[in-house]
Protein backbone atom coordinates (compact mmCIF):
# COMPACT_ATOMS: atom_id res chain seq x y z
CA UNK A 1 0.00 0.00 0.00
CA UNK A 2 0.97 3.67 0.05
CA UNK A 3 0.86 6.28 2.82
CA UNK A 4 1.07 10.06 2.68
CA UNK A 5 4.17 11.10 4.62
CA UNK A 6 4.05 14.87 4.09
CA UNK A 7 2.30 17.58 2.10
CA UNK A 8 3.92 20.97 1.60
CA UNK A 9 3.11 24.07 -0.42
CA UNK A 10 5.99 26.43 -1.21
CA UNK A 11 6.99 29.16 -3.65
CA UNK A 12 8.19 27.60 -6.90
CA UNK A 13 11.88 28.23 -7.58
CA UNK A 14 14.22 27.08 -10.30
CA UNK A 15 16.11 24.98 -7.75
CA UNK A 16 12.96 23.15 -6.66
CA UNK A 17 12.06 22.48 -10.29
CA UNK A 18 15.55 21.16 -11.05
CA UNK A 19 15.55 18.97 -7.94
CA UNK A 20 12.24 17.40 -8.95
CA UNK A 21 13.40 16.96 -12.54
CA UNK A 22 16.57 15.15 -11.39
CA UNK A 23 14.73 12.67 -9.17
CA UNK A 24 14.82 9.03 -10.20
CA UNK A 25 11.69 8.50 -12.32
CA UNK A 26 9.24 5.93 -11.07
CA UNK A 27 9.12 2.93 -13.43
CA UNK A 28 5.39 3.65 -13.71
CA UNK A 29 5.97 7.10 -15.19
CA UNK A 30 4.32 7.91 -18.50
CA UNK A 31 6.47 8.30 -21.62
CA UNK A 32 7.54 11.86 -22.29
CA UNK A 33 5.09 13.33 -24.81
CA UNK A 34 6.72 15.99 -27.03
CA UNK A 35 3.34 17.51 -27.89
CA UNK A 36 2.46 17.93 -24.22
CA UNK A 37 5.87 19.45 -23.53
CA UNK A 38 5.36 21.89 -26.42
CA UNK A 39 1.95 22.79 -25.00
CA UNK A 40 3.48 23.65 -21.61
CA UNK A 41 6.18 25.77 -23.25
CA UNK A 42 3.47 27.71 -25.07
CA UNK A 43 1.65 28.23 -21.78
CA UNK A 44 4.86 29.54 -20.21
CA UNK A 45 5.48 31.93 -23.11
CA UNK A 46 1.92 33.22 -22.82
CA UNK A 47 2.37 33.60 -19.04
CA UNK A 48 -0.61 31.30 -18.45
CA UNK A 49 1.04 28.80 -16.09
CA UNK A 50 -0.67 27.98 -12.81
CA UNK A 51 0.79 26.45 -9.67
CA UNK A 52 1.86 22.82 -9.92
CA UNK A 53 1.01 19.76 -7.86
CA UNK A 54 3.80 17.22 -7.77
CA UNK A 55 4.36 13.98 -5.92
CA UNK A 56 7.23 11.73 -5.07
CA UNK A 57 7.42 8.30 -3.47
CA UNK A 58 9.85 6.69 -1.06
CA UNK A 59 10.47 2.99 -1.52
CA UNK A 60 13.14 1.78 0.85
CA UNK A 61 16.11 4.11 0.34
CA UNK A 62 14.91 5.30 -3.06
CA UNK A 63 13.03 8.56 -3.69
CA UNK A 64 11.22 8.63 -7.02
CA UNK A 65 9.28 11.17 -9.03
CA UNK A 66 5.66 10.05 -9.30
CA UNK A 67 4.38 12.89 -11.46
CA UNK A 68 5.47 16.33 -12.66
CA UNK A 69 7.78 14.95 -15.36
CA UNK A 70 6.49 17.21 -18.14
CA UNK A 71 6.17 20.37 -16.07
CA UNK A 72 9.57 20.03 -14.38
CA UNK A 73 11.19 19.26 -17.73
CA UNK A 74 9.61 22.35 -19.25
CA UNK A 75 10.71 24.54 -16.33
CA UNK A 76 14.33 23.40 -16.59
CA UNK A 77 14.32 24.16 -20.32
CA UNK A 78 13.30 27.81 -19.90
CA UNK A 79 16.09 30.18 -20.85
CA UNK A 80 16.34 32.87 -18.22
CA UNK A 81 12.62 33.52 -17.93
CA UNK A 82 11.59 31.39 -14.98
CA UNK A 83 7.98 32.20 -14.02
CA UNK A 84 7.46 34.29 -10.93
CA UNK A 85 4.71 34.21 -8.34
CA UNK A 86 3.87 30.50 -8.65
CA UNK A 87 3.67 27.86 -5.95
CA UNK A 88 4.15 24.12 -6.01
CA UNK A 89 2.37 21.64 -3.76
CA UNK A 90 4.58 18.63 -3.11
CA UNK A 91 3.23 15.40 -1.62
CA UNK A 92 5.59 12.71 -0.41
CA UNK A 93 4.32 9.13 -0.15
CA UNK A 94 5.83 5.98 1.26
CA UNK A 95 5.17 2.69 -0.54
CA UNK A 96 5.77 -0.77 0.87
CA UNK A 97 6.90 -2.38 -2.40
CA UNK A 98 7.71 -1.28 -5.92
CA UNK A 99 4.47 -2.91 -7.09
CA UNK A 100 2.54 -0.36 -5.01
CA UNK A 101 3.83 2.38 -7.30
CA UNK A 102 1.34 1.34 -9.97
CA UNK A 103 -1.54 1.56 -7.50
CA UNK A 104 -0.36 5.00 -6.38
CA UNK A 105 0.01 6.10 -10.01
CA UNK A 106 -3.66 5.33 -10.62
CA UNK A 107 -4.76 7.79 -7.94
CA UNK A 108 -3.44 10.89 -9.69
CA UNK A 109 -6.06 12.71 -11.79
CA UNK A 110 -9.45 11.28 -12.74
CA UNK A 111 -9.44 8.96 -15.74
CA UNK A 112 -11.58 11.46 -17.67
CA UNK A 113 -9.02 14.14 -16.92
CA UNK A 114 -5.76 12.51 -17.95
CA UNK A 115 -4.94 8.92 -17.05
CA UNK A 116 -6.33 6.48 -19.58
CA UNK A 117 -6.03 2.74 -20.13
CA UNK A 118 -2.83 3.24 -22.13
CA UNK A 119 -1.25 5.10 -19.23
CA UNK A 120 -2.32 2.53 -16.63
CA UNK A 121 -1.04 -0.33 -18.79
CA UNK A 122 2.24 1.52 -19.18
CA UNK A 123 2.51 1.93 -15.43
CA UNK A 124 2.29 -1.80 -14.79
CA UNK A 125 4.57 -2.58 -17.73
CA UNK A 126 7.15 -0.14 -16.40
CA UNK A 127 7.50 -2.13 -13.19
CA UNK A 128 9.28 -4.91 -15.12
CA UNK A 129 12.73 -4.23 -16.55
CA UNK A 130 12.39 -7.10 -19.00
CA UNK A 131 9.39 -5.42 -20.65
CA UNK A 132 10.39 -1.77 -20.67
CA UNK A 133 11.75 -1.87 -24.23
CA UNK A 134 8.54 -3.40 -25.64
CA UNK A 135 6.52 -0.71 -27.46
CA UNK A 136 3.73 0.18 -25.07
CA UNK A 137 0.76 -0.11 -27.49
CA UNK A 138 1.79 -3.66 -28.39
CA UNK A 139 2.53 -4.71 -24.80
CA UNK A 140 -0.91 -3.41 -23.82
CA UNK A 141 -2.48 -5.38 -26.68
CA UNK A 142 -0.68 -8.57 -25.63
CA UNK A 143 -2.03 -8.35 -22.07
CA UNK A 144 -5.53 -7.55 -23.31
CA UNK A 145 -5.29 -10.63 -25.53
CA UNK A 146 -4.31 -12.82 -22.60
CA UNK A 147 -7.18 -11.37 -20.55
CA UNK A 148 -9.64 -12.02 -23.41
CA UNK A 149 -8.44 -15.62 -23.66
CA UNK A 150 -8.76 -16.24 -19.94
CA UNK A 151 -12.13 -14.54 -19.61
CA UNK A 152 -13.94 -15.66 -22.76
CA UNK A 153 -12.23 -18.85 -23.92
CA UNK A 154 -11.12 -20.48 -20.69
CA UNK A 155 -14.08 -19.02 -18.81
CA UNK A 156 -12.10 -18.05 -15.75
CA UNK A 157 -12.96 -15.05 -13.63
CA UNK A 158 -10.14 -13.08 -15.13
CA UNK A 159 -9.41 -9.48 -14.32
CA UNK A 160 -11.16 -6.79 -16.34
CA UNK A 161 -10.81 -3.06 -16.87
CA UNK A 162 -7.65 -1.50 -15.50
CA UNK A 163 -7.10 -4.51 -13.26
CA UNK A 164 -6.33 -6.70 -16.28
CA UNK A 165 -2.98 -4.91 -16.60
CA UNK A 166 -1.81 -6.54 -13.38
CA UNK A 167 -1.19 -9.54 -15.65
CA UNK A 168 2.08 -7.78 -16.47
CA UNK A 169 3.16 -8.91 -12.98
CA UNK A 170 3.09 -12.59 -13.97
CA UNK A 171 6.47 -13.68 -15.32
CA UNK A 172 4.95 -16.56 -17.27
CA UNK A 173 3.45 -14.09 -19.74
CA UNK A 174 6.59 -12.04 -20.37
CA UNK A 175 7.97 -14.12 -23.22
CA UNK A 176 4.68 -13.87 -25.11
CA UNK A 177 4.46 -10.12 -24.51
CA UNK A 178 7.99 -9.61 -25.79
CA UNK A 179 7.37 -11.78 -28.84
CA UNK A 180 4.13 -10.09 -29.84
CA UNK A 181 5.44 -6.61 -29.10
CA UNK A 182 8.96 -6.85 -30.51
CA UNK A 183 8.86 -9.53 -33.21
CA UNK A 184 5.37 -9.50 -34.71
CA UNK A 185 3.58 -6.18 -34.50
CA UNK A 186 4.45 -2.95 -36.22
CA UNK A 187 2.64 0.00 -37.79
CA UNK A 188 2.27 -2.22 -40.86
CA UNK A 189 -0.04 -4.70 -39.11
CA UNK A 190 -3.11 -2.64 -38.10
CA UNK A 191 -5.45 -5.48 -39.04
CA UNK A 192 -3.97 -7.55 -36.19
CA UNK A 193 -4.42 -4.86 -33.53
CA UNK A 194 -7.41 -6.45 -31.79
CA UNK A 195 -7.47 -8.19 -28.40
CA UNK A 196 -9.30 -11.31 -29.71
CA UNK A 197 -6.64 -11.72 -32.43
CA UNK A 198 -3.96 -11.33 -29.75
CA UNK A 199 -5.91 -13.91 -27.72
CA UNK A 200 -5.65 -16.37 -30.62
CA UNK A 201 -1.94 -15.63 -30.84
CA UNK A 202 -1.61 -16.40 -27.14
CA UNK A 203 -3.62 -19.64 -27.42
CA UNK A 204 -1.40 -20.91 -30.24
CA UNK A 205 1.79 -19.69 -28.55
CA UNK A 206 0.82 -21.57 -25.41
CA UNK A 207 0.14 -24.84 -27.20
CA UNK A 208 3.05 -24.77 -29.69
CA UNK A 209 5.40 -21.83 -29.35
CA UNK A 210 7.72 -22.77 -32.22
CA UNK A 211 4.89 -23.25 -34.73
CA UNK A 212 3.09 -20.12 -33.51
CA UNK A 213 6.15 -17.97 -34.05
CA UNK A 214 6.37 -19.07 -37.68
CA UNK A 215 2.62 -18.96 -38.39
CA UNK A 216 2.03 -15.44 -37.08
CA UNK A 217 5.24 -14.13 -38.61
CA UNK A 218 3.86 -15.22 -41.98
CA UNK A 219 0.43 -13.72 -41.28
CA UNK A 220 2.04 -10.39 -40.33
CA UNK A 221 3.88 -10.40 -43.66
CA UNK A 222 0.71 -10.92 -45.67
CA UNK A 223 0.68 -14.70 -45.79
CA UNK A 224 2.40 -17.03 -48.26
CA UNK A 225 3.18 -14.94 -51.33
CA UNK A 226 3.33 -18.08 -53.51
CA UNK A 227 0.05 -19.64 -52.29
CA UNK A 228 -3.17 -17.64 -52.33
CA UNK A 229 -5.06 -20.45 -50.58
CA UNK A 230 -2.59 -20.92 -47.74
CA UNK A 231 -4.29 -20.39 -44.35
CA UNK A 232 -1.89 -17.57 -43.48
CA UNK A 233 -2.75 -15.75 -46.71
CA UNK A 234 -6.49 -16.25 -46.29
CA UNK A 235 -6.37 -15.13 -42.66
CA UNK A 236 -4.43 -11.96 -43.39
CA UNK A 237 -6.77 -11.04 -46.26
CA UNK A 238 -9.80 -11.74 -44.08
CA UNK A 239 -8.51 -9.56 -41.24
CA UNK A 240 -7.84 -6.76 -43.70
CA UNK A 241 -11.38 -7.04 -45.09
CA UNK A 242 -12.80 -6.88 -41.60
CA UNK A 243 -10.77 -3.73 -40.98
CA UNK A 244 -12.28 -2.04 -44.01
CA UNK A 245 -15.91 -2.63 -43.03
CA UNK A 246 -18.14 0.06 -41.57
CA UNK A 247 -18.22 -0.15 -37.79
CA UNK A 248 -21.90 -1.19 -37.81
CA UNK A 249 -21.09 -4.20 -39.99
CA UNK A 250 -18.09 -5.49 -38.06
CA UNK A 251 -18.22 -8.99 -36.69
CA UNK A 252 -18.26 -9.70 -32.97
CA UNK A 253 -14.96 -9.95 -31.08
CA UNK A 254 -15.35 -13.69 -30.52
CA UNK A 255 -15.49 -14.22 -34.27
CA UNK A 256 -12.02 -12.77 -34.72
CA UNK A 257 -10.65 -15.31 -32.27
CA UNK A 258 -12.55 -18.18 -33.87
CA UNK A 259 -11.50 -17.20 -37.41
CA UNK A 260 -7.86 -17.02 -36.40
CA UNK A 261 -7.95 -20.43 -34.73
CA UNK A 262 -9.74 -21.88 -37.77
CA UNK A 263 -6.86 -20.72 -39.97
CA UNK A 264 -4.30 -21.99 -37.47
CA UNK A 265 -5.87 -25.45 -37.36
CA UNK A 266 -5.92 -25.64 -41.17
CA UNK A 267 -2.28 -24.63 -41.24
CA UNK A 268 -1.27 -27.25 -38.68
CA UNK A 269 -3.23 -29.90 -40.59
CA UNK A 270 -1.58 -28.81 -43.85
CA UNK A 271 -4.89 -27.93 -45.49
CA UNK A 272 -5.81 -25.25 -48.00
CA UNK A 273 -8.88 -23.11 -47.37
CA UNK A 274 -10.95 -20.72 -49.46
CA UNK A 275 -12.35 -18.55 -46.67
CA UNK A 276 -12.47 -18.14 -42.91
CA UNK A 277 -15.14 -19.78 -40.77
CA UNK A 278 -15.76 -17.82 -37.60
CA UNK A 279 -19.11 -19.01 -36.28
CA UNK A 280 -19.08 -19.65 -32.53
CA UNK A 281 -22.54 -21.20 -32.12
CA UNK A 282 -20.96 -24.52 -31.14
CA UNK A 283 -18.31 -22.99 -28.94
CA UNK A 284 -14.70 -22.11 -29.49
CA UNK A 285 -12.42 -24.32 -31.54
CA UNK A 286 -9.57 -26.07 -29.78
CA UNK A 287 -6.25 -25.08 -31.33
CA UNK A 288 -4.44 -27.99 -32.94
CA UNK A 289 -0.99 -28.74 -31.57
Assess whether pLDDT exceeds 90 at residue 271: yes
The pLDDT confidence band at residue 219, using thresholds 50, 70 and 90, is very high
Assess whether pLDDT exceeds 50 at residue 23: yes
What is the third-level CATH fold of 2-115?
3.90.1530
CB 217 within 8 A of CB 184: yes
The pLDDT, as a whole number, for residue 188 is 75
In angstroms, rounded to a whole number, what is the distance separating the alpha carbons of residues 25 and 214? Answer: 38
Range(s) of the chain covered by CATH 3.90.1530: 2-115
The pLDDT, as a whole number, for residue 244 is 77
Q: Is the pTM of this model over 0.85?
A: no
24-25 sheet: strands from edge to edge? 2-11, 87-95, 52-59, 62-67, 24-25
What is the rounded average pLDDT for all residues in the chain? 91
Question: How many other C-beta atoms can be found within 10 angstroms of the C-beta atom of residue 186?
Answer: 13
What's the rounded mean pLDDT across residues 71-95? 93
The pLDDT, as a whole number, for residue 112 is 54
Assess whether pLDDT exceeds 50 at residue 247: no
Assess whether pLDDT exceeds 70 at residue 166: yes
- Strands 52-59 and 62-67 come out as antiparallel
The pLDDT confidence band at residue 172, using thresholds 50, 70 and 90, is very high
Amino acid sequence: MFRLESANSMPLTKQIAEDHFRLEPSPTERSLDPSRLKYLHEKAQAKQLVSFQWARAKCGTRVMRMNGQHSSTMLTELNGEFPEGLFVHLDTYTVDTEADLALLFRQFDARKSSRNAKDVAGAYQGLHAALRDVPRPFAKLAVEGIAFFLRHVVGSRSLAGDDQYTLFDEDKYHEFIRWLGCDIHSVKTPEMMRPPVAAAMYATFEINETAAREFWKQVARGGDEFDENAPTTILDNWLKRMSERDSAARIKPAHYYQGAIFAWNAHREDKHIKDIRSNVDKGFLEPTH
